[in-house]
Structure 1
Amino acid sequence: MFKQINKYWWCQILGWSAYFVLNCFFYYALDKSVLKLSDLINLLIFITLGILSTHLFRTLINRRNWVAYSSEKQIFLFFTMVAGTAVTLYVTYNALMYFIFKYKQEDLVTSIIKGLVSAFAISFIWWMIYYIWHYIERNRSSQVDQLKLETTVKELELKTIKAQLNPHFIFNALNSIRALVDENPQRARTAITELSNILRSSMQTEKAETVSLENELNIVKDYLALEHIRFEERLNVKYEIDPDTLELQVPPMMLQTLVENAIKHGISRIIKGGSVYINSSLKGMQHVITIENTGQIVENSINGHGFGLQSTRQRLSLLFGSRASFEIRNKDEQTVEATVVMPLL
């Protein structure tokens, strides 16, 4: 039964009950006695009329959708509700006292002033609490809606990036296989097998925002096996992976994208080939991944504006905000270094 009563009525019941208790307390404190039956009836009638009048005006403003009003209109509406409720409460109470109980005041002017002041004070407090409550509720609801919107946008952006990454990778991989078809059909068939392994692994992580580094390394190793068929001895790979980082979470296809960038823009442009060095380590409360490759970044693209690098920055920003960073630079005259720093989740 009590669960069916909404917050508004709970506030009405508790608020007016507190008003009743306070009146009983002050009456006892001043007169050193409990309320007389007539005074008790008058107080209960006043409280009943207070509930009815406040509820009446609340119903009116809710039907007008007052929360959609501007701040200026809401301030005007507040004082209008205070005045309307106070006058309604005062008039109905005194009319009831006069016509039913034949209750008369000796000093009419003083009685009206005191009655109106009391009604205005009670009405002001009631509406002040009501407005503050709704202001807090609207603010909290707005924050929740904003968080939901940001989460939805983030998910959509991540899905868009991943949807672009897979065709981008497949296109590059197919170009590599096409180069082997005439030269060595057997190697081309092996390359297709390697590609199917990569696609199988990537499909398993398609719906995930992050995957373990170990899973990501498996895709990278399949990709490098595919590329090694094309480059043979021109491609050397070295891994230095801290075992404690294997279970850490990273954006899916991020490491593969950076390794692909190292092959495409570094190794493939050097006649004698080069090497790729992949390092994963912990530094304090950060997970640091470093990829070094033989080559150089030309001056006008030092910040890395390729699709793969842009997607890496976007996903790190979406997942970790300012707590993550990505940098690519010329480490020396022969080596390019890409560094990803992520917080430990």
Structure 2
Amino acid sequence: MNNSNVKRAVYSESPFGTALDNFSFHNLMMVTMPDQIPVKSLIRLNWMVSIMASIVIFAFLITLTEDFSKAINSGFQAFLFFTLASFINLLLLRIFQKQRGVSESSANRKFYALSYSASLTIGILTRIIYPAFTGMPIEVERFDDLEDYLPSLLSVFTLNTLILILQNLVIIQQKKIKSEIENLQLKAAASETNNLLLRQQIHPHFLFNSLNAIKSLYKIDPRQGEDYLVHLANFLRVTISNQGTSTALIKNELDFCLDYLAMQKIRFGIALNYSIQIDEQIIRTRYIPYFSLQPLVENVIKHNDLTEDSPIEIRIQEVEGYLCISNNFQPRKYKEPSTGHGLSNLSERYRLLVGEDIHIERDDSLFLVRIKILER
């Protein structure tokens, strides 16, 4: 799932933006249930549609019949119908949005059945029962055949369809705006990652330790010092490269992490041990967010005591579609200064990429972080 694969959204200043540009009539009539329905926007839409419909019907009848009483009566009935039908539809949207276990096709059928049944009931109530409470006169039509009912039924269903289309337009536009915001957040997170890489590259403490280690190693064992220098060069090369993507192959992330671990292994010796248990097919074909593995390993070394008597054991393994990074928990009494942005940044990127968070488990003896393995 590369950054280029994230769907782009286009924002427009018009009330419905370009919602119709990429959606057919069939799409508009589908029940659209995002994680959060824009309730406030839909409430404003419902009132606006109800008021406008009553005004239009009043103006049309007063022009056509010049009967003010009939026009005001019909306009108020239209206001009641549109208000009740639109808010009933909003209530149904809220109810079906909470029923995550229902399949989409089943939800659509139930939603439409309830929506049009409710609109028919509301149409009958506003047509017949409403005058009984208001005392306003109404012409009661006699229907001798089933076909006589069709115009009224068609009117009710047409008006309810119009309400559904307008509500879905608002929901679609809200989703487009939300998608654009998420794209911008993803870009910001990627920029923050580059900043983290840059800080790692020029981090005085890291470079100071690395140069001191090289100096000491060349005095004791030039061959080991050369190995350390090769790993450092590979590590710095990756930190200054511009990947231009939000994800990377596990193989690339693992190679980068292993260069870092190799340097730390030379530095700490038997006080640091690590193991990799990931299927080769997964390593070469699956993805994780760019620059996500090495910071997790670095956190282990930064926040735990490493001694020959109590070595740190780092395990990197794949378990049921997740990459698990675990270690025996030996917290330092003195902790190195930390920004605390590493895990939070990775967590935010995962929420934007796959809609779920990273998983952290900790007890007195074990610390484990699980991150979801991604497909292209």
* TM-score, length of structure 1 as denominator length: 0.56
- Point out the structure with the larger helix share: 1
Tell me, yes or no, if structure 1 residue 337 matches structure 2 residue 367. Answer: yes
Greater relative contact order structure (CA < 8 Å, 6+ sep): 2
Distance 1:125 1:263 in 2: 66
Paired position in structure 1 for 2:243: 206
**Gapped regions of structure 1 (runs ≥ 5):** 1-5, 12-66, 92-112, 115-120
Tell me, yes or no, if structure 1 residue 133 matches structure 2 residue 169. Answer: no
Counterparts in 2 of 1:178 and 1:250: CA distance versus 1, 3 Å: same
Tell me, yes or no, if structure 1 residue 180 matches structure 2 residue 219. Answer: no
* TM-score, length of structure 2 as denominator length: 0.52
- 1:214-237 CA-partner distances (Å, limit 9, x unpaired): 111100111122223433454333
The 5 Å alignment of 1:151-190 reads: 151-153=183-185, 155-170=186-201, 171=203, 172-180=205-213, 183-184=216-217
Shift of 1:156: 3.2
Structure 1 residue aligned with 2:254, among 210, 217, 232?
217
Distance 2:326 2:216 in 1: 31
Report if aligned partners of 2:275, 2:315 keep a CA contact under 8 Å in 1. yes
Structure 1 residue aligned with 2:327, among 275, 292, 296?
292
Paired position in structure 2 for 1:230: 267
Distance 1:240 1:76 in 2: 65
Counterparts in 2 of 1:327 and 1:157: CA distance versus 1, 3 Å: farther
- 1:99-158 CA-partner distances (Å, limit 9, x unpaired): xxxxxxxxxxxxxx99xxxxxx899988776555333322322222223323332x1342
Tell me, yes or no, if structure 1 residue 308 matches structure 2 residue 342. Answer: yes
Shift of 1:188: 6.7
Structure 2 residue aligned with 1:258, among 296, 301, 320?
296
Higher radius of gyration, 1 or 2: 1
What amino acid does structure 1 have at the position aligned with 2:259? D
**Gapped regions of structure 2 (runs ≥ 5):** 1-19, 26-41, 67-139, 142-151
Shift of 1:80: 0.8
RMSD: 4.3
May I ask how many residue pairs the two structures share in their alignment? 246
Report if aligned partners of 2:45, 2:167 keep a CA contact under 8 Å in 1. no
Report if aligned partners of 2:228, 2:263 keep a CA contact under 8 Å in 1. yes
Report if aligned partners of 1:292, 1:337 keep a CA contact under 8 Å in 2. yes
Identify which range, 205-214 or 178-187, moves more after superposition: 178-187
Distance 1:132 1:237 in 2: 58
Paired position in structure 2 for 1:55: none
Report if aligned partners of 2:288, 2:373 keep a CA contact under 8 Å in 1. no
Percent identity between the aligned chains? 19
